[in-house]
Amino acid sequence: MASITTWTRIEPVARDPDMADGLKAAIRDPLWLLARQWQFGEFQGTDGGSPALARFQAGCGKLDRFLPDYDPDRTPTTFSKFGLTDFDFEYWNGSGWSLVPDGEIRNNDKVHVRATFPPVRTDRIRIVVKGAREQFSRIVELEALQADPQPSDRDIVWVGDATPAGAAVRGDGWEWAADPAAPAGGARTHWTPSNAGLKQHYFEGCSEPLPIHEAETLFAYVRLDPANPPKQIMLQWFDGTWDHRAYWGESRIDWGVEGRANRRRLGDLPIPGVWTRLEVPASLVALEGRAVRGMAFTQFGGIAIWGAAGKTRLLPPGSGLCAEYFPSVDLTGSAVTRIDPVVDFAWGTAAPHPAIPADKFSARWTGEIAPLFSETYSFHVTGDDGVRLWIDDQLIVNGWLDQAATEYNAAIALQAGRRYRLRLDYYDGGGPAACKLMWSSRRQPKQVIPQAQLYPPASYAAAATNVALAANGGRASASSTHSAAFPVVGVNNGDRTGAGWGQASGGWNDATAGDFPDWLQVSFNGEKLISEIGIVTLQDGAPIEPIPSHVGAVQPLNGGVPLEALVEREQAQAEDDLREATESGLHFLRILAAQGLQGYGPVITRAHAFEAGVDVADAASRRFAGVMFRRAPDGRKLSAALKAAAPGLPESWAIAAKDWESVRAAADAWLAWRRGVAPTAPASAPTWRPERMEYAFAVSAATPAGRVDLAARDYPGGALDWHAFDAHLQPGAGGGETVVIEAIPAPVSYRGMPAPRYWQFEDAEVNWGDVKAGETDLARLTLLEFALVGSDDWFVIPVELEAGSVCAAQSLEIDDTFGIRTAIRHHEAVDGPRSGWGLFGLTSPRQPSPEAPPLLFLAPTLLSPLESAPIEEVLFLRDEMANMAWAVERVVQSPTGRPLDRYEAYRAAKAGVAPAERADAGANLALAYKVGSEPPDYWIPMVTVQSGPRATRLRRSALASADGVPIAPLGRTLEPGRRLDIYEEEIPRAGARVTRSWQLARGVDGHPCLWMGRRKQPGRGEGSSGLVFDTARKPQPQV
């Protein structure tokens, strides 16, 4: 158990020479600093008694939520003149309207208001307005957020409130019942009537099969009867045979062969009485690439209640690509931005947008693409006129010329379950305009790339949890008193600013205060499990509140993972990492050798030989690829072959019958090992904010005083502790427990501390009398005052807490040597809530006392993790001579996962190459004119762009190579493939340095953690790229 020691002090409010009024003590900071009160009485001839026992009480909770989508640049705002002051959030309970818990809002002054409550199942919600300032208000957005557990945007519920269409129900009886608390699939559950022994209910032959793709996961919800739990539960799937089974608990049902796809044990029985989500990787039951037409719910004894069942995609469905349309043919000018679901346009002579001309325009689509299969894909791009296509920054189609509709084709190997960066450029030089993006592969028929496989860049991704969106089935209606000037046409059109909702400036308006109560209602497409309702209001002529800082998914917090690892971890190795491919392949050979099966090594190596990377740019990677060429198995090929052959083995291995089971077991062990290599897995919730070059996130804990949100606004990486967080308390129903600590206060001591009595010799470690301080040297004077006057007034008591605990201090009582108990008050109770003094306290800028009690936070962080040399380093600096900023990629990750020094690579590339003069005029004269110098290719320009009325940012741009192609960054820090606009203040004159490196540490539970993280540090001052324009100099002689 980790512990923290709290410092406490009792300090008299006023020094009463006669002590007639007794001791008036006050807590001087949130960590309760105590003073030796008896000393003051002793020198006056009295003795108030010295502290003998301290009793500290606090309400504590454990961190249980992680909020990765926290955005400190978007903070809640208030209104001063207009707005909703009194209103209720209500939901339909099936027969009438009920107030949601904590849904009665009074005396409100916030633009954005949210109510969070225990989940309720309903098909409609409404806001009832009962008061507004100056008789005018407008609602521009009404949200209703689904509760957990819900089907994620990756879940496909196949069995919900009913079986799939056309299914034939069979078995020992199939009973349905309504259960509003059932998770995910709806409000109905099913089970088999109780009887002893083996029993099941199942269906087959449905007309709507469930296709299972590579790396997908099957799921089902179950709740075991706590009074009569079964001994074993089993799920079975039918794709023509029932040989696909997984089970939990004892081995009472003897179907299938243990350890094979027709009989996989995945753990113990779930805890009875609570809903549990069972998950089965499709590869374990040999269902990848199959179509499921039936499902069985089997058990041995007892009662099991089953809920929704289906599958989870490896990736959530996409929403399309970010499209930028320009009024020119060279991708310049004021762009119109939108999300295009697919790229399949035949504009002809029409304009793509009212703000864009019909002729001589251009467009750029950016985002990511997710293939369904691990194989070579062919991309088919049709353009009239020019088109260019990049996949993961690799230019694979280049048809940048005037032409009639022409189809270009290019092939590239892709991996299922991974997103690849995509960029498609297009221009229309005049006449008819058209552009289409298609793909095909061995298992993928040629088609326009569907919306579900296309993803916009992260900066354009929209939350999908708001079920009040009109696009998600929300339908709005309002009371008859709402203003006819703003008719309700939808609850939210996806534009969080609300500017597009309704007519004119949008929204829903209350006409006069005399019309109250008034209401606005949203009906859903079916019942939803709602846990949060929010509104955004608009005051007259003022901007509405931006996106609130705590939108997005809330993730459960795993206490065993250090907070730094949870926040910083990111995908550390690319799928084309040559070293990872060979080392993982060699590891499989080691597993075989450990079981005495090394004889199959040469066969497996020849069948899946490593043959990649010989054409990479840097010499070290080429040497590595040359050494390993066909000398080791390629882990990527090996993994794909095993998954395709599951539950069997590739035929090319020619495994003897006696060795088959052992080799398959070795393959399963290797696949499990490969999945468990944490550095290759992307972060579940990226918190890095490229525009700030910092991490931003929040964590949360339920305490008896209410839920406490702890937000880290600008964590630069490297060292995370309590002082990085701001606290916000949400009063109301909480959780946690009350902790009471009783201890004997011990006097604080330190080396060089003055003696507490005049006749006592000191240790002479520090000569306080020799400390010099000027009249304005307040810090040094304060230190002297503490050391010479008050340092021996401090006591310490130990308080042991679990790492990750958040405590709201409730009381501190001191028993002195005479048995007198003194209650110590917090200093704000004496000096007022805005006294402005605190030590070790969590800041709560928008929440004064008494709502916010003093908080203690013991962060589950690390002391000193081991850190590797940076595998990526970017230096941001100002170049006053060129009047711009630069991002210098000093080090990037090579194809073998090692640091690549770009400066040395640049020098090596330039060695022996005669510099081009680019003599535009006067080549034969004494002076040669040059348009501009050529900075190194690893210097990435950052140009100034206007981001607001009085705000500018630095946008990553690109230099042009000799053939005119923009030079893209090679590392990840500069976000290749998407637009990067960095806040101008983040690159001061001193510059900034951002690195990526490996981190290794042990968590609180002793488990080792390895992750890739970033760190932002101060730069090294200004720099110069040598960029100059319009120069005339003598040409260099050719030798």
Q: What is the pLDDT of residues 335-361, one digit of tens each?
A: 887 778 889 999 988 888 877 888 899
Beta bridge partners of 135: none
Residues 6 or more apart in contact with residue 14 via CB below 8 angstroms? 24
pLDDT for position 345: 92
pLDDT for position 247: 93
Task: State pLDDT tens for residues 506-550.
Answer: 344 433 344 566 777 777 755 676 777 877 765 444 433 333 344
Residues 6 or more apart in contact with residue 748 via CB below 8 angstroms? 7, 791, 792, 794, 795, 796
pLDDT for position 906: 82
pLDDT for position 451: 83
Task: Give the whole-number percent of the chain exceeding pLDDT 70.
Answer: 73
Which range, of 270-274, 775-779, 1023-1027, averages the lowest pLDDT?
1023-1027
Q: How many angstroms separate the CA atoms of 91 and 126, rounded?
A: 6
- Asked if the model's pLDDT at residue 53 lies above 70, the reply is yes
Which range, of 318-327, 476-485, 904-913, averages the lowest pLDDT?
476-485
pLDDT for position 852: 53
Domains and CATH numbers, the chain: 3-60+738-858 (no CATH), 83-148+464-540 (no CATH), 155-312 (2.60.120.430), 321-460 (3.90.182.10), 578-680 (no CATH), 866-1031 (no CATH)
Question: What sign has the CA pseudo-torsion 495, 497, 501, 503?
Answer: negative
DSSP letters for 322-389: EEEEESSTTS-SSPEEEEESS-EEEEETS-SSTTS-SSS-EEEEEEEE--SSSEEEEEEEEEESEEEE
- Residue 543 exposed, middle or buried by CB count within 10 Å (0-12, 13-18, 19+): exposed
The 3-state secondary structure of 95-126 reads CCEEEEEEEEECCCCECEEEEEEEEEEEEEEE
Q: How many angstroms separate the CA atoms of 864 and 844, rounded?
A: 28
pLDDT for position 854: 73
Of the ranges 29-43, 79-93, 153-167, 405-419, the best mean pLDDT one: 405-419
Q: How many angstroms separate the CA atoms of 1036 and 1039, rounded?
A: 9
**Mean of the per-residue pLDDT values of the chain:** 76
The DSSP bridge pattern shows strands 25-27 and 821-826 to be: parallel
pLDDT for position 153: 52
Beta bridge partners of 426: 363, 387
pLDDT for position 975: 84
Please, what is the Cα angle at 265 between 259 and 266, to 5 degrees? 125
Mean pLDDT value across residues 282-299:
89
- Asked if the model's pLDDT at residue 786 lies above 60, the reply is yes
Q: How many angstroms separate the CA atoms of 54 and 815, rounded?
A: 6
pTM above 0.75, yes or no: no
Mean pLDDT value across residues 848-876:
78
Q: How many angstroms separate the CA atoms of 558 and 65, rounded?
A: 9
pLDDT for position 485: 32
Mean pLDDT value across residues 732-751:
82
Task: Give the whole-number percent of the chain exceeding pLDDT 90.
Answer: 12
Task: State pLDDT tens for residues 10-51.
Answer: 333 333 333 333 333 333 333 333 333 333 223 333 345 678
- Asked if the model's pLDDT at residue 927 lies above 80, the reply is no
Which range, of 79-88, 293-302, 410-419, 690-699, averages the lowest pLDDT?
79-88
449: closest CA among 441, 440, 457, 438? Answer: 438
268: closest CA among 254, 250, 285? Answer: 250
Both tokens assigned to 174 = 């199939």
Task: State pLDDT tens for residues 958-986.
Answer: 887 766 677 888 888 888 867 788 988 89
Contact 148, 114 (CB under 8 A): no
Task: State pLDDT tens for residues 814-840.
Answer: 888 888 888 887 766 766 665 555 666
pLDDT for position 365: 94
Mean pLDDT value across residues 272-276:
82
Q: How far is CA 92 from CA 127, 523, 532, 879, 908, in A?
A: 12, 10, 14, 62, 71
597: closest CA among 646, 669, 647? Answer: 669
Q: How many angstroms separate the CA atoms of 996 and 570, rounded?
A: 10
Question: What sign has the CA pseudo-torsion 371, 375, 376, 377?
Answer: negative
pLDDT for position 235: 95
Q: How many angstroms separate the CA atoms of 108 and 83, rounded?
A: 8
pLDDT for position 288: 83
The 3-state secondary structure of 158-210 reads EECCCCCCCCEEEECCCEEEECCCCCCCCCEEEECCCCCCEEEEEEECCCCCE
Task: State pLDDT tens for residues 901-919.
Answer: 888 888 887 775 545 444 4
Please, what is the Cα angle at 115 between 109 and 120, to 5 degrees? 155
Contact 395, 423 (CB under 8 A): no
Residue 465 or residue 719, greater confidence: 719
Which range, of 207-221, 363-377, 778-792, 860-874, averages the lowest pLDDT?
778-792
Which range, of 138-152, 288-302, 804-818, 827-841, averages the lowest pLDDT?
138-152
- Asked if the model's pLDDT at residue 438 lies above 80, the reply is yes
pLDDT for position 527: 63
Q: For residue 677, what pLDDT band results from cuts at 50, 70 and 90?
A: low
993: closest CA among 898, 876, 889? Answer: 876
pLDDT for position 27: 34
Residue with tokens 């190596």: 605
Q: Quote the crossing angle between the two packed helices 660-675 and 635-645, to the nearest 10°.
A: 120
pLDDT for position 760: 77
pLDDT for position 151: 41
- Asked if the model's pLDDT at residue 230 lies above 60, the reply is yes
- Asked if the model's pLDDT at residue 78 lies above 70, the reply is no
pLDDT for position 668: 87
- Residue 770 backbone dihedrals phi, psi, to 5 degrees: -95, 0
pLDDT for position 932: 63
pLDDT for position 29: 35
Which range, of 59-68, 73-82, 947-956, averages the lowest pLDDT?
73-82
Residue type present at position 894: S
Of the ranges 120-124, 303-307, 683-687, 1032-1036, the best mean pLDDT one: 303-307
pLDDT for position 874: 94
Is the peptide bond preceding residue 850 cis, with omega within 30 degrees of 0? yes
Residue 19 or residue 373, greater confidence: 373
Element of type H or E holding 475 = strand 475-478
The three-state secondary structure class of 994 is strand
The three-state secondary structure class of 294 is strand
Of the ranges 207-211, 382-386, 580-584, 916-920, the best mean pLDDT one: 382-386
Task: State pLDDT tens for residues 603-630.
Answer: 998 888 888 765 666 778 888 888 888 8
Residue 63 or residue 470, greater confidence: 63
Task: State pLDDT tens for residues 546-572.
Answer: 333 444 456 777 666 788 888 888 866
Q: How far is CA 36 from CA 9, 11, 820, in A?
A: 7, 8, 14
Q: How far is CA 700 from CA 58, 152, 685, in A?
A: 17, 21, 15
Q: For residue 257, what pLDDT band results from cuts at 50, 70 and 90?
A: confident
918: closest CA among 951, 957, 964? Answer: 964
The three-state secondary structure class of 40 is helix
- Asked if the model's pLDDT at residue 702 lies above 60, the reply is yes
Q: For residue 780, what pLDDT band results from cuts at 50, 70 and 90?
A: confident
Is the peptide bond preceding residue 149 cis, with omega within 30 degrees of 0? yes
Q: How many CA atoms lie within 13 Å of 458's alpha carbon, on the beta-carbon side?
A: 15
Contact 223, 216 (CB under 8 A): no
- Asked if the model's pLDDT at residue 414 lies above 50, the reply is yes
Q: For residue 186, what pLDDT band results from cuts at 50, 70 and 90?
A: low
Contact 1013, 568 (CB under 8 A): yes
Residue 94: count other Cβ atoms within 10 Å of its Cβ. Answer: 10
Q: How many angstroms separate the CA atoms of 157 and 181, rounded?
A: 17
